Structures are given as C-alpha cells and as structure tokens.
Amino acid sequence: MFEYDFMQNAFAAATVVAIVAGVVGYFLVLRGQTFAGHALAHVGFTGATGAVLCGIAPLWGLVLMTMAAGIGMGCMGERLAQRDVAIGLVLAFSLGLGLLFLHFYTAFATQATALLFGNVLAVDAWTVWTLLVLGLLSLAALAVISRPLLFASLQPELAEAKGVSLRLYAVLFLTIVALTTAECAQIVGVLLVFTLMVGPAAAAHRLTSGVGAGIMLSAGLALLEAWLGITLAFCTDWPSSFWITALSAAVYLFAALPWRRREGNSVSLLRRVTANQPS
C-alpha cells in the first residue's frame, strides 16, 4: 500500500496528528475539559465552511475559528466546568451556522462531508507539511506551560495562592487545544475529534499513574490506532474514520475493565507536582 502517494501522505499526516492529539489530550482529560474540546470541533466546522464560502482553504478557517473560540472559553477560567449548558448552546449554534454557510454554497457538499467525518486518504503533501508545522507549534507551546498547567489542573487553589494565573493558563491551554482540534479534523473530521484526543488519553489515565508514562502511552495509543485504522481501511475499503473510532473505543473498554483499573492516579500526580513546587 505504500506504493501509492496518497497512502504515504495519509500515514505521514496521521503520525503527526496522532502524536499531538495524544499529548494534548492527556492534559485535556486531566483537566476535565473534554466537552470543551468537542465544542471547539463544531466551532471549527463553522470556520471551515465559512472559509470555503470565501474561497480560501478550509484548514485556515478551522484554525482561526477554533483559536478564537478557545481563547474565549479560556477567558471563562475555571468556571468553564460549570458552563456546560452555555457550551452546548454554542456547539449547536456553531453547527447550525456552518450548515447555513453550506446553504449558500451547495457545490461544496462533498467538502462538508469530509469536514464532518474526515478523509485522511485525501490529504496532500502541502497539508502534511502544514500539519507538521502546526503540530510542532502546539507541542512546543505545551512544553513551555506544562509544569504550571499541571499544577493548576491538579490543585488550582494552591497554585493560585503561589502566584499561578489560572485564567492565563486556561487561555493558553485551550488555544493549544484549538490548534490540535483543527489538525484532528483533517484525519477523523469534526464529529469524531474525541477519537484521537480523548479515547487514547482516557485509556492512558486508567493504565498509568505517572505523568511521563501517561503522556507517552496516550501518544502511542493514538498513533497505533491511526496506523491500524488506515491499514484496515485500505484492506477493507471501509472508512478510515470508522476503524480509528472502533479501535479507540476497544482500547478504552479494555482499559476500563475492573481488573485493569488503577485508583489514586490523581493523588500520585498531585504528590509529584506539589513536591517540586517552590515554597
């Protein structure tokens, strides 16, 4: 299958996106903001359809719209967890607005389907390089803020007392999530962003108790699911998004089995973080 250029592009794009999604998703699950990540995906659909309507690449509409929404959600600070109703309304309105954009430009109905459910086999070389640049930016930014972000995520009251700005790191983190969401949409579509951002990370949280091990496992599971999903799609002619989603669900169900469950992960993480904080 690697004799085909489109398969080479698909594996390259999936590799970049899976690694970034696994790393960022670990913190997303840790902070309990998975619903916010799902809402960002729908906001991105509106941006992408609006970009198509204006005659520019859908990827840039995804990036700009999700980043704007991520900054807005981050400005809510820690109150975001109590604003599920508002986020749900924004999610529904964004999807409806995207459909309105399609109403005015019906010639791009095929592109809309690709945006909703993804089509990794249609990724070209230019998109691969773009995803690589965005992925490196996301990982570099996350590396810079990872330590205070982890501290603020596990014990926000103590972090704030020691001078860590909860709102600032909420804005920065959700901006990174927005970039990652835009990348994931190129592989699995906006409706299935949970597949790569939440599934592997949630499984990693159940199977590990350390930050480093959890991040590595999350990225590894996302990468494995993406590679196997594309391979199975090539062999069966079924959609790659379906296979990636099915594999993600299977891995999480295995991790959630009672005999696999590990308790006390948050406590273990909290002890490690607070032990290294300056007094």
The pLDDT value given to residue 227:
94
Tokens for 201? 């990370």
Q: How is 20-54 classified by DSSP, letter by letter?
A: HHHHHHHHHHHTT-HHHHHHHHHHHHHHHHHHHHH
The pLDDT value given to residue 108:
55
CA dihedral 158, 163, 168, 173 (to 10 degrees): -50
Q: Does domain 5-275 have CATH number 3.40.50.10860?
A: no
Q: What CA–CA distance (Å, rounded) separates 45 from 278?
A: 43
The pLDDT value given to residue 263:
46
The pLDDT value given to residue 22:
92
CA dist list (Å): 154 to 147, 148, 201, 227, 267: 11, 10, 16, 32, 9
The pLDDT value given to residue 113:
61
Domain map (residue ranges) of the chain: 5-275
Q: What CA–CA distance (Å, rounded) separates 233 from 142?
A: 32
pTM exceeding 0.75: yes
The pLDDT value given to residue 201:
92
The pLDDT value given to residue 136:
93
The pLDDT value given to residue 77:
53
* pLDDT less than 50: residues of the chain: 81, 263-264, 267, 279
Do residues 158 and 271 make contact, with C-beta atoms less than 8 angstroms apart?
no
Q: What CA–CA distance (Å, rounded) separates 198 from 252?
A: 10
The pLDDT value given to residue 270:
54
The pLDDT value given to residue 84:
65
